[in-house]
Structure 1
């Protein structure tokens, strides 16, 4: 008689089941709630009237066109200024390269609306630069508001993303390919466009997608300086939290449209990337050259001028935080009055909430990212690919959509989480996990399976091998992704503005609330503290990792 023994469930099967349940409950279920609210009216009847309303009235449907126009323009502008910046940085020994790297990264790590707020103070109708040029030189530079202002602010903020992506791609180009092209007469500008950019095309497309998605989903910049130029995320916010009480069904319908639009762009990018499906490996890395003569001077001028202009808003905010102010007007003289007011206006609570929610969210993200990366790379299957796809969905959605989805799903019993810190942490984990997952996955793919097999053959268990061998070897990718997740967590606005309350207010929200109420001195103080926090985070990362790069 043969006794059949039940096979013990594999630990990774349990992990897969957990993630399927997690994403089903905290992502798919909330998104289904949005869909349901968009097609079921308050009387409980099925209707598509909200979608008809959106597409039949140009006042609303034009927001899609506006978002596409400005996002495409921002993407083109960041590629145009970011690729040369990265090329000069990677292929030439620029003086102060470390400073250039840190400053440019800090530009894209600030809260999305701080740059817009600062540029209003610099180039607004009564801005410092605007008034100086008008009164001293008689030059009227026009308005920062509208399409041009959004393009300026976002291009200067997001070009470092292109720089970071392209820096990694350029470093992977084998120098022997460049030497071969030179031997065949392809040099200079011709080689740059035909060889270097050709080999970097997958990365260019990836960088373009990241910039486009960030620009398309941006809420703070168009809200502050868009004025008559209305964009998609702002319209979702206005319909959900409008002054007249909002139209939740209409906001849900717009959110559904946003999901389809961003998903379409994502899959188009994936298709375009598949057309450039090749890999390169720098067996002979490119050797940096000395930038000599006039060309060398122009390289330094271009890089330092671009970094300085992009970093100007952060410096100006810190400067203004020490200026005297009264009722939204900055006065002569300097003091700590704005910081004293900030202390009275929830600075302590804002910093505490930011750090507590940030550390809590990041701890969950790191654990989840390690497990999902291992499932995707070492336990590839339909289930693990499904988990990977679900984890990436929030990456392509506006934060306001995630916020609204969570409010709809968990705004009432049996799982009423709205107004708690838990729902804020959930939103941060769901939205910001893709950064660490992608970085951890890329690192694990480079670790040979033979290392783990050797550990197991020497008597170590699979879990001991995973925890003692695999995870430590993934540390560089984990840390790199974690710093990006951390900074995006502490500067989160678009989902936080839907979910926050006074008990759970963060630094980003405190700064935004102060701006919306016209208290610019207080806003400058909150923004300066936030800028310092993100700067310290980056410097700690660079010190701990002993790296001069952030890998994406």
Structure 2
């Protein structure tokens, strides 16, 4: 019997056959290598480059001068303290929302998400209006003879970051509390462990991985933020500000030191990520989740208390949005708000910075087109064609989670500021930065929806004679679209609110709304700044509504 009779083909082991998905993987590696790895490698090399030779002088200078290392200390103080207080707010709110029958849960949830999606520097700007040196709350207490501290300084950064980022904790913890196996808590109750002690000894240890993940998100977001420290730091430097000032300085830029500061920023965020993974990996946190918890119906008095707790936190965190929208309609006389309402701030915006508004939505839309296509194709190779290569690809795509926007902006300028590929000062470099920074959002939602689609759907289509590629585009991709679009809209929202990378990369005609707000605040044009911030808030609200319609859910999870 011949080999041919047995149906076995004699294939050449050295012949490489490349299909469509192989090309997708290859192109993805090329783009990631060119626009992410190559720029990061450039700032790594640049940080060791001094006077035309390799040297450790930049790092020695950093750790020798208080001006530099105090910025690192300030960053740690602000980030760790903000993370602690965010946990203090997020965990109780998540527990109350997940376990108790408090009213208006849907509204509270939407407001919490809106808080997270609005840029932190808008929150900082709002608190300047309220608690700045001439803020209306500070003036109100001054009239009563009370001198309360202004928002400026490290404490102001901590306050803003806590109220801005506690939703990270809330989202992760509330999701974990809804899936925890209630029998474990019941067992502890039967052993006499009840109330706060049961929460501390049983519930919190069980959800520790999700708490630590949320805390990691808060730490990295506050550690890497640029806008808030720039607006309310008032002389208190943090690393992103120092890196920006070293790179773009009126007294002469110092790219080598800016690269050194960028590498230290990136090293710290990466170390914190690995520390969190190490701590979680030391213990086992698995459970069967056969009996998810039921909503506890509280007595009227306790229900009111739980509702007031949630309402107080949500109200505090949404105050900046309400302040921005309200002040955008107030009459102004220079930098001062006067009595009465007016649309003058919006008229000034449309006259002064119409290009910035157009740029914002154009660049974000261009980036989203790429992210939707990349999300569809890359999530498919990661989920449906698992291998060491696709696992590496997935890991590389997620690297931007730990890259501060300032670092990414500096790395792109250093990499592409000279021929043959000169992108600095063009709109292209902004779109590239947005795609790199925000693609993980679309990827995560795309892979999540693909995991929910049974492979038998594709197999049935192929068995009916539909080619695999046509099956993907006609069947799988169509089923994935809601999940991909929900992630893409979140990417779009965070893109239009992006400041950290934009402030480094923009050039004159490529300014965006966030850059314009930043400029207007620094020139004391608070009315136009409020109008621009309100436009961003409106875009965010509309985006949340679209996500709700796409997912068909009352709750929106990021």
Pick closer, same or farther for the CA change 1:153–1:450 going to 2, 3 Å: same
Partner of 2:130: 122
Q: Look up the SS of the partner of 1:330 in the other structure.
A: strand
Pick closer, same or farther for the CA change 1:443–1:189 going to 2, 3 Å: farther
Shift of 1:432: 1.0
Pick closer, same or farther for the CA change 1:159–1:139 going to 2, 3 Å: same
Write the deviation string for residues 131-177 of structure 1: whole angstroms up to 9, x where unpaired.
112212x3222121111111111100111121111221112123444
The farther-off stretch of 289-298 and 25-34 is 289-298
Q: Look up the SS of the partner of 2:200 in the other structure.
A: helix
Matches within 5 A, 1:6-155: 6=15, 8-41=17-50, 43-136=51-144, 138-155=145-162
Identify the match of residue 261 of structure 1 among 265, 268, 273. 268
8 A contact 2:547–2:556 mirrored in 1 = no
Aligned mates of 2:470, 2:196 — CA distance in 1: 52
8 A contact 1:480–1:551 mirrored in 2 = no
Matches within 5 A, 1:397-436: 397-436=403-442
Q: Look up the SS of the partner of 1:141 in the other structure.
A: coil
1:517 aligns with 2:517: no
Aligned mates of 1:193, 1:458 — CA distance in 2: 56
Matches within 5 A, 1:452-491: 452-491=458-497
Q: Look up the SS of the partner of 1:288 in the other structure.
A: coil
Aligned mates of 1:135, 1:402 — CA distance in 2: 46
| Structure 2 unmatched runs, 5+ | none
Q: Look up the SS of the partner of 1:332 in the other structure.
A: strand
Shift of 1:205: 1.2
1:349 aligns with 2:355: yes
Partner of 1:364: 370
Write the deviation string for residues 34-67 of structure 1: whole angstroms up to 9, x where unpaired.
12322223x5222222221111111101111111
Aligned mates of 2:451, 2:547 — CA distance in 1: 23
Pick closer, same or farther for the CA change 1:3–1:473 going to 2, 3 Å: closer
Aligned mates of 1:265, 1:357 — CA distance in 2: 32
8 A contact 2:101–2:303 mirrored in 1 = no
Aligned mates of 1:467, 1:30 — CA distance in 2: 34
8 A contact 2:486–2:550 mirrored in 1 = no
Q: Look up the SS of the partner of 1:93 in the other structure.
A: coil
Partner of 2:513: 507
TM norm structure 2 = 0.93
Q: Look up the SS of the partner of 1:295 in the other structure.
A: helix
Shift of 1:394: 1.5
Pairwise CA RMSD of aligned residues? Answer: 2.1
Aligned mates of 1:373, 1:149 — CA distance in 2: 40
Write the deviation string for residues 389-415 of structure 1: whole angstroms up to 9, x where unpaired.
211222101101100111111111111
Q: Look up the SS of the partner of 1:418 in the other structure.
A: coil
8 A contact 1:424–1:496 mirrored in 2 = yes
The farther-off stretch of 274-283 and 262-271 is 274-283
Identify the match of residue 222 of structure 1 among 217, 229, 234. 229
Aligned mates of 1:96, 1:28 — CA distance in 2: 46
Aligned mates of 2:193, 2:467 — CA distance in 1: 54
Q: Look up the SS of the partner of 2:139 in the other structure.
A: helix
8 A contact 2:94–2:173 mirrored in 1 = yes
Aligned mates of 2:381, 2:275 — CA distance in 1: 26
Write the deviation string for residues 416-463 of structure 1: whole angstroms up to 9, x where unpaired.
111211110100000111122223223433444444444434433332
1:493 aligns with 2:502: no
Aligned mates of 1:193, 1:447 — CA distance in 2: 38
The farther-off stretch of 463-472 and 424-433 is 463-472
Partner of 2:539: 533
Aligned mates of 2:247, 2:147 — CA distance in 1: 38
Partner of 1:337: 344
Identify the match of residue 551 of structure 2 among 518, 538, 545. 545
Pick closer, same or farther for the CA change 1:166–1:359 going to 2, 3 Å: same
Aligned mates of 1:271, 1:172 — CA distance in 2: 24
Identify the match of residue 174 of structure 2 among 158, 161, 167. 167
Shift of 1:544: 2.6
Aligned mates of 1:453, 1:354 — CA distance in 2: 42
8 A contact 1:92–1:289 mirrored in 2 = yes
Aligned mates of 1:112, 1:155 — CA distance in 2: 10
Q: Look up the SS of the partner of 2:317 in the other structure.
A: helix
Identify the match of residue 192 of structure 1 among 177, 193, 199. 199
Partner of 2:309: 302
Shift of 1:278: 4.1
Aligned mates of 2:552, 2:448 — CA distance in 1: 19
Shift of 1:279: 4.2
Aligned mates of 2:458, 2:528 — CA distance in 1: 54
TM norm structure 1 = 0.94
Pick closer, same or farther for the CA change 1:79–1:317 going to 2, 3 Å: same
Aligned mates of 1:115, 1:412 — CA distance in 2: 37
| Structure 1 unmatched runs, 5+ | none
